[in-house]
Amino acid sequence: MRRIGFLSAHDERDPEAQRRLGALREGLQALGWLAPKLAIELRWAAGEVDRIRAYAAELVDLKPDVLATNSTPTLAALQKASRTIPIVFMAVSDPVGDGFVASYGNPGGNITGFSNHEPSVPGKWLQLLKECDSSIVHVAAIYNPATAPHGIFLPPLKSAALASSVEFIPAPVRNIAEIEAVVAGLGRAQGGGLITVPDLSNVVHREQIIALAARHRVPAVYYRKLFAEGGGLMSFGPDDVDQYRRSASYIDRILKGESPAGLPVQAPTKFELVVNLRTAEALGITIPSSILMRVDAVIE
């Protein structure tokens, strides 16, 4: 039997997290990794930093053949816990900038995987907000500086805002009270809009963020489909389920003897634009045809 140690940043009760894990299992099964040939040791950190560290050490102590994970904070914990066990990540935005790999083409260590960042995406978040509501002149991007790889997202957002004559407001937030203060401020201002950058904290607090945007009537764009499915106005970003399914190929190759040092980090190849028309109607926004012609899914 071969073993994978999987450290998830999310809550085991999260249906979306289970759906992504299911895609990984399907990908492995399609490559011939069926029980009892393969076992997956699962640990669910539910966004708790202390739990992430403890579970990383626990999984390393089990000496699995491969470690797998799905966020920047969990990857950082696994890297600290082991420099020898191969690690595959599914959704990390800045693996080079955060020091996980030497380069995309030649990772060079015990870590490789699938990035969820494409340089043009941050500018498209701002573009989507402006297309939906041309009166938007202030846009805040919320992120938790302790968990978000914000350095890769803030500069392109600032450049896109400057080109669109929009005031860009980087908004570091560490708890719900700080998130509410930012969203409420946007609601009081004329022409406020909200962007949530890829961040474990934003995922964990997504229900509260969506509810606050609705309460204060702030148009918002998110980076994952689960936000729009949960009541957010719209989302645009990589298909995470596809990322998990693709990652099975690297786990397979490592289990068959290849080194992660020579497996290039892969960029996302499939993106999704999702619009929630119910939320748009509640906000008094008419989604223009220029967006509706491009959507992958509409929630009515």
The string of pLDDT tens digits covering residues 53-93 is: 999 999 999 999 999 999 999 999 999 999 999 999 999 99
Q: Strand, helix or coil at 116? A: coil
Q: 2-117+239-270 architecture in CATH? A: 3-Layer(aba) Sandwich (3.40)
Q: Which amino acid appears at position 139 of this protein?
A: V
Q: Do the domains 2-117+239-270 and 121-237+272-299 sit in the same CATH topology, yes or no?
A: yes
The yes-or-no verdict on residue 149 having pLDDT over 90 is no
Domain boundaries, the chain: 2-117+239-270, 121-237+272-299
* Exposed / middle / buried, residue 88 (Cβ in 10 Å: 0-12, 13-18, 19+): buried
Check: CB of residue 60 under 8 Å from CB of residue 24.
no
Structure tokens at 273: 């634009």
- For 216-238, the pLDDT digits (tens) are 999 999 999 999 999 999 999 99
Tokens 């309460």 -> residue? 215
* End-to-end Cα, the chain, rounded Å: 46
Q: Strand, helix or coil at 219? A: coil
CATH of the domain spanning 121-237+272-299: 3.40.50.2300
The yes-or-no verdict on residue 159 having pLDDT over 90 is yes
pTM (two decimals): 0.90
